[in-house]
Amino acid sequence: MSEAGWEQHYVQDAFAKNWIAPLGENVDQFEKEFADRVDQKYAVAVSSGTAAIHLALKALKIGQGDIVLCSSLTFAASANPICYEGATPVFIDSEPDTWNMDPVALAKALCTEKNVKAVIVVHLYGIPAKMNEIMALCRQYQVPVIEDAAESLGSTYHGRQTGTIGDIGIYSFNGNKIITTSGGGMLVTDNSEYAERVKYLATQAREPVLHYEHREVGYNYRLSNICAGIGRGQLKVLNERITQKRRIFYKYQQLLSDLEEIHWMPEPKNSFNNFWLTCLTVVGLDTRQLIADLAAENIESRPIWKPMHQQPVFAQRQFYGNQYSDQLFTTGLCLPSDTKMTNADIKRVAASLRKAIQRAKHNDLINSERSDHAV
């Protein structure tokens, strides 16, 4: 079928069957197909990845006075739902092998902080975190693990899908993610109680009786049947997307392999990245200037996520680590990684980045000579 063919098919099907209103066949099938794809027993389709994290915390009964440990280097949506429940986020640093949660810092937090009730571990930019170490620690302290796999759908760790290694996993289908429903998310688990509870809370906590009966406060968090139709079509192109994302990463790497100052994002041993975005760090140079230089050539690049422990909204929160995430933030760069990019597009970006790096090094040299003269 043509580009967007399956998406249109399922959406039209929903119209034809007059199933535009909440839920319906597409939602049921999307959940089933998604659960099969990641090899989990239960999948619950919801309105966003953020809603999925919120419901995961609800399923684990997180509330006032509880502490939730969370990766610091991430998008704010990983941590915000902790605050929705009146719990306290405590942030854990990154480590160099994966850019993700540092098991050493996690161990320190687990033995220092009292009342830790959950851990949210993020697989940033599609790089799997060190789940063996993280799961072993969390099992030892009997703390459940939520995997934020919003950016890592299709990435694997020792052959297992990211998002299916902890107790609950979440994914996002926001417009910028590897597949999209224009907005949406998914929660997966092998635990039937969690799955039931999440479905119930996501549908306004409606009791299974004819009239509207409610014993608890609920949420309007379900994915619509139309969006689920788009999701079913998108799921069919996921593997193709990953192939394209990986092609883009390796093309950039090949074109810029001679530049020693570039350190590429890791693809750890026994892991398979979906390479949602191609990211790198440039050692010893100001990436803000590189971003400006690329923008002047109409190329949009971005810094790495700013760590949560540096965000004004979370400034009062505890942090465990050695500031490696801060280093990634100041030296990091995300390159254009759209799956529609041709090799010629990638070459143009790579050439511009090369020029920007050479200019920055040249300026550094002049500045250091100037300061030599000044002495």
Ligand X SMILES: *Cc1c(COP(=O)(O)O)cnc(C)c1O
Q: Interface with ligand X includes 75 (CB under 6 A)?
A: yes
3-state secondary structure of 128: coil
Q: Interface with ligand X includes 126 (CB under 6 A)?
A: no
Q: Interface with ligand X includes 48 (CB under 6 A)?
A: yes
Q: Interface with ligand X includes 147 (CB under 6 A)?
A: no
With CB atoms as reference, the residue minimizing the distance to ligand X is 49
3-state secondary structure of 176: coil
Contacting range for ligand X; rule: CB under 6 A; set: 36-44, 60-68, 74-82, 217-225? 74-82
Residue 339 buriedness (CB in 10 A; 0-12 / 13-18 / 19+)? middle
CB of 45 to ligand X, least distance (A): 12
Cα separation values, 248 from 151, 240, 255, 347, Å: 16, 12, 11, 10
Give the one residue of 55, 57, 87, 150 binding ligand X; rule: CB under 6 A: 150
Cα separation values, 154 from 34, 71, 175, 267, Å: 11, 20, 17, 14
CB of 120 to ligand X, least distance (A): 9
Q: Interface with ligand X includes 88 (CB under 6 A)?
A: no
Report which DSSP code applies to 4.
Answer: T
Structure tokens at 238: 């996921």
DSSP for 226-260, please give it. Answer: HHHHHHHHHHHHHHHHHHHHHHHHHHHHHHTTT-T
Q: Interface with ligand X includes 78 (CB under 6 A)?
A: yes
- Report the alpha-carbon distance of residue 369 to residue 294 in Å, rounded: 26
CB of 275 to ligand X, least distance (A): 14
Q: Interface with ligand X includes 178 (CB under 6 A)?
A: no
Contacting range for ligand X; rule: CB under 6 A; set: 22-30, 70-78, 190-198, 264-272? 70-78
Give the one residue of 24, 49, 103, 166 binding ligand X; rule: CB under 6 A: 49
Output 79 or 353, the one with its CB closest to ligand X.
79
Contacting range for ligand X; rule: CB under 6 A; set: 71-79, 243-251, 294-302, 340-348? 71-79
DSSP for 252-265, please give it. Answer: HHHHTTT-TTEEEP
Output 185 or 321, the one with its CB closest to ligand X.
185
Instruction: Tell me the sheet residues that pair with 90.
Output: 69
Interacting residue ranges for ligand X, rule: CB under 6 A: 48-50, 74-75, 77-78, 122, 148, 150-151, 172, 174, 185
